Structures are given as structure tokens and as C-alpha cells.
Amino acid sequence: MNTKELTDKYIMNTYGRFDLTLVKGDGCILYDENGKKYIDFASGIAVNNLGYNNHAINSAVINQIKKLIHVSNYFYTEPQALLAEKLCKNSFADKVFFCNSGAESVEGAIKLARIYAKKFSKRGYKVIAMENSFHGRTFGALSATGQDKYHKGFEPLLEGFTHVKFNDFSAVEKLINGAGGKAGNGKDYCAVIVEPVQGEGGVNIADKGYIKSLRDLTAENDVALIFDEVQVGLGRTGKLFAYMNYGVEPDVMTLAKPLAGGLPIGAVLAKDKIAKAFEPGNHASTFGGGPLITAAANAFIDEITKEDFLDEVLKTGNYIKSKLDELKLDFSEFIKDVRNIGLIGAIEFYEIKSKDIAVKLIEEGFLTTAVQDKILRLTPPLIIKKGDVDLLIESIVNILNGHYNK
Ligand SMILES: Cc1ncc(COP(=O)(O)O)c(C=O)c1O
């Protein structure tokens, strides 16, 4: 049996896979089993921010693997400590908790907010989350996720999550302050969780005023403001963290996807004020922050904090923006909207299924992701070059002209 047949026979059927088996990568190029090349505009869903076969990541992993792969968190290890220092020194945070994935980082953030409320702010356990959000597949993260399609069949979900419209400050304000608020059930809420840019929701970018107002309201009420930056943190928006686009700081932030250069990791970052609520025994992860993974993550952070790295991301992001705007003008009959911030972008179609475009782009040698029924998402490695962007846009133009413009 070939790889596809083995997979289909032995692996649970949870993914709608493309008919493509990938075997290696270098820079922004992936190769299939027949040696065909693909320019990557997916990055393993916003993970491979430095592309493939990156020298810094490879060397860090190879060096560390010879020393120590795993010991328990009953002991100290240098790569973990150094990574925590780097994350804190480069962000709003004072403390970090390490885990293994985005969903786990969301679980950790929610547990932290709840225990902080129990011990210090004396607020309730409920969490305000956004419609159309995505926070992961474990029960806490799934309950926070504001898209019914992910919930179906798994009910009952965890109680205590209220979903409100994204980018609508008054909806949050009403819950915390409004009718039944201060005098009533507003005290029930301990946290607001929001993605500054909803990635899985279709690249919906939060307004500046909205994020600022959320910050003010949560600070006034001692409610934890959690930014889920699993998808858009760590350089994706052209800033080291997405919150840096907004001129405010969260109390808690979740990170995962690109942090360890393609190896599994998650992190919960928090200010001391909230982080102090966790005590030994409150939360843990066997593999969280292991030396191999954190050695890779240290290399990743060193690379993306090098002078000019993020300036280049911004420049390429602005270039993509100009190209997407042109595309929308030229194909206004098909394209409803284009959006991007840094190197996360989306093309939203009126009628065309994004999956169909993604399949045609594979034939043309490009990998993208179909994030919602009619939204094609672009999350290239942060090292993508303008020339690659031109090739992708040219291909999309050809597909739209050839298949739809008749
Ligand atoms: C914003 C956000 N949070 C959480 C997750 C879940 O991450 P993971 O798949 O690593 O559990 C994702 C994954 O797409 C995400 O985009």
C-alpha cells in the first residue's frame, strides 16, 4: 500500500486531506513523492514561519538531541528557562507556562483566569468569548470556540461560556457592566478571550478601538483579558505579537503553532498579578517545555527577533496587500473582500468554493488553505519573497480567468 492507502486504512478519518503526499521541504518550497515542487502559502497552518530545513532550527535540534530530549518538570533545564526569559523580555509578560499545543494553551489560560478569580478578584467562573472564534478541540477550548460546526455531536459542552459578536464592544460591555451587570451577573465573568485576528474564522481583523475598549473595561473590572495569539503571534502580523498592533497589552496570552520551529509546543504568558494564582499542583504537563522543544524555540525566537526580520515581513505583507487589492478590483464579480495584516491574508469569494481554488492551486504548484467555505487563507512562511507572491497571484488570475470567467 502507498502512503495514502495506509493513511486511509489505519488513521481515524478526522481530516479532509488533499490528494498529496509531501516528503521534504527547503525554504518556502515543498516537494511531493514525485519530486514536484510547491510554493508554500500555508506553512502547516501558520507553523513553519521560517520555512523548511532552516539551519538555525535544525542545528538547535541536532545539538540538543545529543544532550537531553526529556526530563520531568520536577527538574530545571536551561533551554526552558532561557525560552521563558526571551518570551517575557520581548513581551508584556512576567511568567510563562509551557504545554504542547494551542488548545492546551487555551485550557491553561482559562484555568489561570478562573483560579485568579477564585483567589483574588472574587469574580465568577464564566468566560466571554467571540462568535466565529477558534480556540481548539479540547473541551474547554472547544467550548470557548464560537462556531457551531465544531460543537456538533460533542454536546454537552462546558457550561459558562457566553459568545458575543466579534468586534462589537457594546456586547461585552452589556455583559460586564450593563443591565444585570455590576448589580447582577456581570460579576459572574472572570475573563474575556479574543483573537486579535480570527484566523480560522476567516482572517477577521479586530478594530483598534474595540481592542482598546476591551482593555479598559476588563482592567476596570479586574477581568482577565486573554489574547489568543496561537495563530497570529510570533511575527505573523509583522509585529512580534499581534497585540503590538493595538497599543495595549493583554493580561494573558496564548502561543503555540510556530514557537518551536515546527515542533509541538504551547505557552501561556501572563502578568505576575495573574500568574501568581497558580501554585504547585494547580496545573502541569508531562512534556510541557521539554529541553528538545524549547531548544528549537530559542532558535526560532533568536531568528525572528534579529534586526530587520520583522521589517521585511511588514514589507512583504504590504506588497501582498497591494496585490490582493488589485486582484479584488480586477475580479470584483467573484471576489467579495480581501484582507491581510502582515503575512496572514484572505480572499473571500461570493460564490466560488475556496476548496476548489485550493485544489486548482495545488495543480499549479501552490499550497494554500481553505479556511471557510468561501475564504481562501494565505499564511506563507515569513521568509516568503515578493517573486513568490507574484507567481501565486498570477496563478490565481489564470484560474479565475480560465475556469470562472466564461
Ligand atoms: C487561535 C487559535 N487558537 C487555538 C488553536 C488550537 O491550536 P492546536 O491545533 O495547536 O491545538 C488554533 C488552531 O488553529 C488557533 O488558530
pLDDT per residue over 127-153, tens digit each? 999 999 999 999 999 999 999 999 999
Ligand 1 atom index nearest CA of 254: 3
Residue nearest to atom 8 of ligand 1 (CA): 102
Q: Which three cell numbers stand for residue 316?
A: 512583504
Strand duo 224-228 + 204-205: pairing: unpaired
Ligand 1 pocket, residue 135 CB under 6 Å: yes
In the block, cell 486504512 appears at: 9
User: Ligand 1 centre and the CA of 337: distance in Å?
Assistant: 24
Ligand 1 pocket, residue 134 CB under 6 Å: yes
Helix, strand or coil, per DSSP, at residue 158: coil
- For 172-204, what is each residue's pLDDT tens digit? 999 998 654 454 567 999 999 999 999 999 999
| pTM for this entry | 0.97
- Tell me the C-alpha distance between 54 and 37, whole Å: 18
Ligand 1: residue of 48, 139, 231, 241 to mutate (most ligand atoms within 8 A of CB) is: 231
The domain spans of the chain are: 3-54+307-404, 55-304
Regions in the chain scoring below 70 on pLDDT:
178-185, 405-406
- For 240-290, what is each residue's pLDDT tens digit? 999 999 999 999 999 999 999 999 999 999 999 999 999 999 999 999 999
Q: CB pairs under 8 A, 24+ apart, for 280-285?
A: 282/111, 282/115, 283/97, 283/108, 283/111, 283/112, 284/73, 285/73, 285/98, 285/99, 285/100, 285/104
Ligand 1 pocket, residue 228 CB under 6 Å: yes
Q: CB pairs under 8 A, 24+ apart, for 180-185?
A: 185/124
In the block, cell 494551542 appears at: 102
Q: What's the CA angle centered on 302, arms 297 and 307, to 5 degrees? A: 150
Domain 3-54+307-404 of CATH type 1.10.1740.10: no
Burial 19-54 (b: 16+ CB within 10 A, else e): eeebeebebbbbeeeeeeebbbbbbbbbbbbbbbeb
Ligand 1 pocket, residue 103 CB under 6 Å: yes
Same CATH topology for 3-54+307-404 and 55-304: the answer is no
Helix, strand or coil, per DSSP, at residue 178: coil
* CA 45 to chain CA centroid, nearest Å: 8
**Predicted pLDDT of residue 183:** 44
**Predicted pLDDT of residue 181:** 47
Ligand 1: residue of 15, 135, 203 to mutate (most ligand atoms within 8 A of CB) is: 135
**Predicted pLDDT of residue 178:** 63
Give Cα separations from 46 to 115, 169, 324 (angstroms).
31, 28, 19
Give me the phi and psi of 160, to 5 degrees please.
105, 10
Q: What is the dihedral of CA 175, 178, 179, 180, to 10 degrees?
A: 60
Ligand 1 pocket, residue 342 CB under 6 Å: no
Nearest-10 crossing angle of helices 208-221, 169-176: 10
**Which CATH architecture describes the domain 55-304?**
3-Layer(aba) Sandwich (3.40)
Ligand 1: residue of 98, 138, 143, 230 to mutate (most ligand atoms within 8 A of CB) is: 230
Ligand 1 pocket, residue 227 CB under 6 Å: no
Ligand 1 pocket, residue 102 CB under 6 Å: yes
